[in-house]
């Protein structure tokens, strides 16, 4: 059995889809389907059409971890995508419980039973930095979300020499793809730009900020299917997966920053022509916004993952292909 936490979310549901494509169906999906004010739609829709063997609410799952009632011998890998990823969430107690304490519980379970453990970290740990390799000097989070992820990364770093099985943290950069209709404001710019283009014929993006001209802010946009494959690789679920335990915290991005204008152009090539309009930079994002990200993927390559990444234009085409969910 493979455990996917956050399995009804954006990345988790795409990961289950890719596991199904690889013939894997013995999957325990863990999530919290309670309504949340930051969501714009129900997450359960992401699970439609996916094949998995069981589902557990996150609270039930955490209780099972503590009680020892999970059948550890049957677990092939834990792919931990469950977290609060709202970068505007300021409740530090809630954020630390979801992103730090919950992750610690899973880590210790996986280490005790020697189960490969691959977890989602984030490029938000770099925050105000302009250098994006996995060095503590570059880790300067701008919000409690990034901070909570960094605290767990550092916890893993301290324990790394003791692990007997795979433990890999993946610092996701700007992820996009299908199945993010529920994410509200936290959805990718591909999702927001597409809605704007279809509804009004105009794509709105920020005026120049952070030293960048209008629409020239740059991000490392990574296609969600690529991240699914990286999870499967380190989880020991692909033919080319490492034969020995891997211990690493690495960036999961393409290594190539692209402008927001390039995103708009890629979308208009799929959905049809439109206009670009520049809007003032939001006050609530001041001092908590990354104007530029670009993954240094030397660590990822050194850890053994060598597959190429999907180019932005191709990823956009696949995201909005007729057979894809919203």
25 occurs within a structural domain:
yes
Q: Are 251 and 300 in contact (CB under 8 A)?
A: yes
Active site residue 145: yes
265 occurs within a structural domain:
no
89 occurs within a structural domain:
yes
**Strand, helix or coil for residue 39:** coil
Active site residue 183: yes
- For 280-319, the pLDDT digits (tens) are 988 777 777 788 999 999 999 999 999 999 999 999 999 9
283 occurs within a structural domain:
no
Buried b (16+ CB within 10 A) or exposed e, 195-214: ebbeeeeebebbeebeebeb
235 occurs within a structural domain:
yes
Strand partners, 2: 27, 77
Domain total for the chain? 1
Candidates 126, 183, 289, 305; catalytic one: 183
Please give the structure tokens belonging to residue 290.
């990354």
* Alpha-carbon span 31 to 60, nearest angstrom: 10
Please give the structure tokens belonging to residue 119.
């977890």
214 occurs within a structural domain:
no
CATH number at residue 243: 3.40.50.720
**CA distances (Å), origin 11, targets 2, 181, 255:** 15, 12, 19
One pLDDT digit (tens) per residue for the chain, 326 residues: 999 999 999 999 999 999 999 999 999 999 999 876 666 668 888 999 999 999 999 999 999 999 988 887 799 999 999 987 776 677 889 889 989 999 999 999 999 999 999 999 999 999 989 999 999 999 999 899 999 999 999 999 999 999 999 999 999 999 999 998 776 777 789 999 999 999 999 999 999 888 899 999 999 999 999 999 999 999 999 999 999 999 999 999 999 999 999 999 999 999 999 999 999 988 777 777 788 999 999 999 999 999 999 999 999 999 998 877 76
pLDDT of residue 284: 75
* Alpha-carbon span 169 to 189, nearest angstrom: 25
pLDDT of residue 197: 96
Domain limits at 241? Answer: 2-178+221-255+294-309
* Alpha-carbon span 61 to 87, nearest angstrom: 25
pLDDT of residue 72: 79
- What length is written for the chain? 326
60 occurs within a structural domain:
yes
Candidates 145, 172, 289, 305; catalytic one: 145
* Alpha-carbon span 302 to 322, nearest angstrom: 37
pLDDT of residue 155: 98
First to last CA, the chain: 28
Please give the structure tokens belonging to residue 5.
């936490």
186 occurs within a structural domain:
no
φ, ψ (nearest 5 deg) of residue 319: -60, -40
From the list 180, 188, 172, 183, the residue with the least C-alpha distance to 228 is: 172
pLDDT of residue 256: 97
Residue with token string 């191709």: 314
């Amino acid at each position: 059995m493979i455990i996917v936490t956050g399995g009804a979310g954006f990345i988790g549901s795409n990961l289950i889809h890719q596991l199904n494509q690889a013939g894997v169906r013995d999957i325990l999906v863990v999530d919290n389907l309670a309504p949340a004010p930051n969501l714009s739609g129900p997450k359960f829709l992401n699970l439609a059409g996916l094949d998995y063997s069981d589902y557990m609410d996150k609270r039930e799952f955490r209780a099972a971890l503590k009680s020892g009632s999970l059948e550890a011998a049957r677990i092939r890998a834990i792919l931990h995508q469950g977290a609060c990823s709202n970068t505007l969430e300021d409740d530090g107690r809630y954020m630390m419980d979801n992103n730090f304490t919950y992750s610690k519980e899973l880590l210790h379970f996986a280490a005790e039973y020697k189960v490969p453990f691959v977890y989602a970290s984030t490029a938000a740990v770099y925050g105000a930095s302009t250098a994006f390799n996995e060095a503590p000097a570059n880790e300067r989070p701008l919000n409690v979300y990034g901070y909570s992820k960094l605290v767990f990364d550092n916890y893993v770093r301290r324990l790394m020499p003791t692990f007997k099985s795979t433990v890999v943290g993946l610092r996701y950069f700007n992820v996009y793809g299908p199945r993010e209709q529920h994410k509200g404001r936290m959805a990718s710019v591909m999702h927001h730009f597409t809605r704007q283009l279809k509804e009004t014929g105009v794509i709105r993006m920020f005026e120049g900020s952070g030293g960048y001209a209008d629409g020239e802010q740059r991000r490392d946009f990574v296609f969600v299917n690529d991240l699914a494959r990286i999870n499967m690789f380190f989880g020991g679920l692909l033919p080319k997966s490492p034969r020995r335990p891997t211990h690493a915290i690495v960036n999961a991005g393409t290594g190539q920053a692209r402008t927001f204008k390039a995103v708009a152009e890629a979308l208009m090539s799929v959905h049809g022509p439109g206009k670009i309009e520049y809007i003032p930079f939001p006050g609530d994002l001041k001092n908590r916004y990354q104007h530029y990200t670009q993954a240094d993927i030397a660590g990822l390559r050194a850890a053994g993952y060598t597959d190429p990444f999907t180019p932005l234009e191709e990823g956009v085409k696949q995201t909005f292909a007729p057979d894809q969910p919203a």
